[in-house]
Amino acid sequence: MMRGTPGTNRPVWDAEKSDPDMVKKLKEGLKEIIDPELGLNIVQLGLIRNLKIEDGAAIVSMILTTPFCPYGPAMIEATRKKAEESLGIPVGIDLGLESWDFSMMEEGLGGDWGIY
């Protein structure tokens, strides 16, 4: 698939196989975290790259849309808090260095921006 086409670079979370109910809870909770510049939630944008659950705690791997996102620190903390609330266990955030692009968004969203 072409790089940049929404839906072609969606992550598969480790917990989808081991804890599908927890994944569902987390996705629902994180839909409340909106990127203030883009107006879409962090799940739609594909910013959550992985979820691992081990030993009664979770690690959420996420990225930002830009390396120097002015809202980054606030979004990271909001994500951690909402993940803990949704999962009911301690959560750490692993901030990745992967560059975000449109292919990470949910399929069908690029048309809203007039780019596809």
In terms of residue numbers, what domain contains 90? 15-113
How many structural domains compose the chain? 1
Q: Residues of the chain with pLDDT > 70: what percent?
A: 90
Whether 4 has a pLDDT exceeding 70, the answer reads no
Residue 79 or residue 97, greater confidence: 79
| Residue 9 resides in a domain | no
How confident is the model over 13-51, as pLDDT tens digits? 999 999 999 999 999 999 999 999 889 999 999 999 999
Q: Which pLDDT score, from 0 to 100, does residue 110 have? A: 60
pTM above 0.85, yes or no: yes
DSSP 106: P
Q: For residue 114, what is the enclosing H or E element? A: none
How confident is the model over 64-78, as pLDDT tens digits? 999 888 999 999 999
Residue 54 or residue 109, greater confidence: 54
The most distant pair of C-alpha atoms in the chain lies apart, rounded to whole Å, by: 44
| Residue 2 resides in a domain | no
| Residue 4 resides in a domain | no
Which of 34, 50, 25 shows the shortest CA–CA distance to 104? Answer: 50
Q: For residue 62, what is the enclosing H or E element? A: strand 57-62
Name the token pair of 103.
């292919």
* Average pLDDT over the chain, rounded to an integer: 89
| Residue 3 resides in a domain | no
- CATH code, domain with 103: 3.30.300.130
